[in-house]
Structure 1
Amino acid sequence: MKQPKPEQYHEKKRHTEDQFPYNTYLCTIPDDFTEVPVHWHEEAEFIVIQKGSGTVFVDLTHYHVTAGDIIIVLPGHLHAIREISGQKMEYENIIFRPELLCSDNHDVCFEKFLYPLFSGQIHTVVHIHPRLSYYPKIHDLIRTMDQLCSKKPAGYQLALKGSLFLFMFQLLSLDDKKELSNIQQRSLDKLKFIITFTNEHLEESISIRQIASACYFSESHFMKFFKTHMGISYIHYLNDVRLAHARNLLVSSNLSILEIAQKSGFENASYFNRKFKDKYGITPRQAR
């Protein structure tokens, strides 16, 4: 198997439009999906919890979140969203590309503040909750941006960019001074490798031996490493990614269910049907 290149360690799907790279949408777990598998991308993302509770994973930390909480995910950071059994969570995603705020001239705002923030040289808070003294300022900016996107008055893009600049100012003032150790950074890099390797070979049969070898780990060390950092086994993760890929193909393509199963790495159609129903509560045919 070909090993993925470092620059391929991320989700390449764009979540925004090129002309004004800012987007917002609402999701509900488990109604829309039971989880968002771990991934990373080049956009910045704010996860704003509206109702209920759940778990958000960012880099090597799991956060229990409830209504009102805000999770900050800057570009390049691993993150996932998971259901808490028996509970529902409604949340808003705000996603934008850094170039929305970065001028071509690379002025002082870019050089001194935005680039260090977006590239990870400056570390800011991840979990913002209502009990924090600065929460009202952050929450008010989120509410302002939502209102602008909802009403879209003439020139709203100007006001939206202004609000984002104020948001970045608040984040910079909350620099938590925490830096990843070399060991933590190596663990994150290895997780990114595993995620990309999995996605690039999704149609193939991936054994623990193969993925462990690609990581230069023994099988036992690989399984312990993955479970420690991700909270689930690799086989569980692999099946989740394959099922999510299959579900997307079911609604976005005209491929047969057998073809979709094969393109998602399931060699046995009956096994695919059973796992899909276990995961989503409906059959693949009902998902179309």
Structure 2
Amino acid sequence: MKSIFQHQSATADMSFVVREYLQPHFTSPFHFHDAYELIIISRSHGKLYVGNKILNFSDGEIYLFGPGLSHCFLNDRSFKETGETAHAIVIFFKEDFLGKDFFTRAELAPIKDLLQLSAVGLKLELPDPWLHDKLHAMVQSKGMEALLSLLQILHRLSHMQAHLHSINSTIPKIWPKQGDSNRLEKVIRYIIDHFKEEPNSKEAASVACMNEAAFCRYFKRRTEKTFSQFVNYVRVTHATNLLMQKKWSIAGICYECGYKNISYFNRQFKNVMGVTPMEYRMNHSNANAAIIEEAI
């Protein structure tokens, strides 16, 4: 998947960058940085595309992306229809922002390990109110106070590696050409907005301003999936989110995700996740109970 490169520069009075995003919905395109990106999603939900993976994101989640890792947060249509404001706080910093050899010191070995792991993208699976408060306070912090807070945040994350989920299994490729990222983003947004209906390659090709045959070849090259495989991947990803909510029956989730019958839904879900929807629900209900108990 090709991406736009975004350079992040420190300000005159800070050696790293803190930004607060308040938008009707997230608008950043597929992109990657020459810096690490630490982000908390204060208010929003949708789909995150990072490297070669798709996952759901929602309120309160924390992510760490290494330099060069392509990613994009896209809001579901359901979030846009609420009229709520998407809110995120992002910290950008380079590995040498405190000097070339700063993170090689013995005391900082856990943080160095954390930064190396972020090359594949990390998601914190355990809720942590201290981290939430600290990240929100960073918006108003300046100077030494801000620097100490960032080091404290990295220190805490580096000692929570058991609860950090590696999003990609290997370091994804970076596509050097950037000219068609806008085209690909429009197609992905089309899929996100229509996966509950019947998105098709002909309409997607029109969105990309290409003929259908050329578009199908192009899409497979960029995403490493056929158009129908990608749509199915998005549907299954959405289903995993609904399976975590007891109010949804398996049949209800099937139709909500755009499938027409339960047996086909079960088959497609197992092809992607390796287990049936019911097995996934049972496995993750037990895991969530353990996480909540530990957080308490």
Q: How high is the TM-score relative to the length of structure 1?
A: 0.52
Tell me, what secondary structure is at the counterpart of 1:87? helix
Distance 1:27 1:179 in 2: 28
Residues 130-151 of structure 1, C-alpha deviations (whole Å, 9 max, x = no match): xx3xx22xx4124124325425
1:144 matched to 2:134? The reply is: yes
| Map of 2:53 onto structure 1 | 61
Aligned twin of 1:165 = 154
Q: In the alignment, is the contact (CA less than 8 A) between 1:124 and 1:174 conserved in 2?
A: no
**Following the alignment from structure 1 to structure 2, what is the Cα–Cα distance between the partners of residues 72 and 50?**
15
- The residue number in structure 2 matching 1:39 is 31
1:14 is aligned to 2:4: no
Which blocks of at least 5 consecutive residues in structure 2 are unaligned?
Answer: 183-207, 232-296
Q: How far apart in 2 are the matches of 1:171 and 1:105?
A: 24
Report if the CA contact (8 A) 2:122-2:167 is conserved. Answer: no
Question: Per the alignment, do residues 102 and 14 of structure 1 end up closer, same or farther by CA in structure 2, a change over 3 Å counting?
Answer: same
Runs of 4+ in 1 over 6 A off after TM superposition: 206-209
Which residue type is aligned with residue 198 of structure 1?
Answer: D
1:180 aligns with 2:162: no
Matched, 1:125 2:114: no
* Deviations 1:195-240 (CA, angstroms, capped at 9, x unpaired): 524369xxxxx9869xx9xxxxx874333343538958xxxxxxxx
Q: Distance in 2 between matches of 1:121 and 1:67?
A: 21
Among 165, 169, 175, the alignment partner of 1:193 is: 175
What are the equivalent positions in structure 2 for 1:240-279 lying under 5 Å apart?
A: none
What SS does the aligned partner of 2:18 have?
strand
RMSD, matched Cα: 4.2
Deviation, 1:78, is 1.1
1:142-179 Cα distance to aligned partner (Å, 9 max, x none): 41243254254x73134223323324423545465786
CA distance in 1 between partners of 2:4 and 2:134 (Å)? 31
The alpha-carbon distance between structure 1 residues 150 and 43, as it changes in their structure 2 partners (threshold 3 A), is same
Structure 1 residue 95, shift from structure 2 partner: 2.1
Aligned letter for 2:18?
N
Identity %: 13
Which SS does the other structure have where 2:39 is aligned? strand
SS of 1:104's partner is: coil
SS at match of 1:155: helix
Q: Answer whether contact 1:47 1:91 (CA < 8 A) is retained.
A: no
Tell me how far apart the structure 2 counterparts of residues 165 and 71 of structure 1 sit (CA, whole Å).
12
> Per-residue deviation at 1:70?
2.2
Q: Which runs of 5+ in 1 are unaligned?
A: 1-7, 201-205, 213-217, 233-288
2:68 aligned with 1:71, yes or no? Answer: no
